[in-house]
Each structure stands twice: as structure tokens, then as C-alpha cells.
């Protein structure tokens, strides 16, 4: 099981919330790219898929990747709204409800 775990950590990509932050803020993306040395990256760090957080050797490989199933699956997952504390509290019923409430009317039943 140790070998499987080593492969998983080796091929680990960035999490969805990190990628979402890269898409929303170019500053966040430039900070991430600044931590990597261009000499160590494939294609000297010129060809990068933001959604999948992968580096490619050439523009041709990047275009082929964008047409692939894994890239399209990742795009579909990123379209969903990310999990937040506000959504979790609303699911439990702790959030604010600004909808109009119906007032119950009490009807007296007489014989």
C-alpha cells in the first residue's frame, strides 16, 4: 500500500479551491508560478493549463489536452459553486431566511 500512496502524492494536482482562486485572481496565479523555477518545468514553464494545474512541453500538447476528457471533466467540476461555511449553515437551517413567513390563524371551533 505504500507504493500506491507514493504514486498518489507524486501525481497530486492542486485542489479545486486553489484552482478556483487562480481563476478568480490573476495575482494568486502569478504568486504560484513564481514559486516554480522555469528551468525545472516542462517547456520552460511556458505552457500551463490553469484549470488542471499542469505544465506541458509544447503548445500542441496543451491544445490536445484541452480537447481531452480529463480536462473537460475538470472544467465541469470547477463550474459548480465551491463549498463554503454559508452553504453548510443554510443546509442545516442556521442561515438567515429573508422570505416572507405566513402567519398561522387560530380558528376557534364552537359547538
Distance separating alpha carbons of residues 78 and 6, to the nearest angstrom: 26
pLDDT in tens, 8-57: 777 777 888 888 888 888 898 888 888 888 888 888 888 999 998 898 99
pLDDT in tens, 64-94: 999 999 999 999 998 888 778 888 888 887 7
Per the model's pLDDT, the better-predicted residue between 38 and 109 turns out to be 38
Per-residue pLDDT band for 6 (boundaries 50, 70, 90) equals low
Total count of domains within the chain: 1
- Structural domain includes residue 110: no
- 38 and 45 in contact (C-beta within 8 Å)? yes
CATH number at residue 75: 3.30.160
Per-residue pLDDT band for 99 (boundaries 50, 70, 90) equals low
User: Whole domain around residue 40: which residue ranges?
Assistant: 11-80
- Structural domain includes residue 72: yes
- Structural domain includes residue 87: no
Amino acid at each position: 500500500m505504500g507504493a500506491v500512496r507514493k504514486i498518489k502524492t507524486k501525481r497530486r494536482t492542486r485542489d479545486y479551491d486553489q484552482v478556483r482562486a487562480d481563476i478568480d485572481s490573476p495575482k494568486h496565479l502569478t504568486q504560484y508560478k513564481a514559486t516554480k523555477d522555469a528551468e525545472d518545468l516542462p517547456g520552460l514553464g511556458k505552457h500551463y493549463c490553469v484549470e488542471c494545474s499542469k505544465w506541458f512541453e509544447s503548445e500542441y500538447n496543451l491544445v490536445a489536452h484541452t480537447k481531452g476528457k480529463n480536462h473537460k471533466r475538470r472544467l465541469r467540476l470547477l463550474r459548480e459553486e465551491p463549498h463554503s461555511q454559508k452553504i453548510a449553515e443554510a443546509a442545516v437551517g442556521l442561515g438567515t431566511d429573508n422570505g416572507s413567513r405566513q402567519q398561522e390563524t387560530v380558528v376557534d371551533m364552537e359547538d
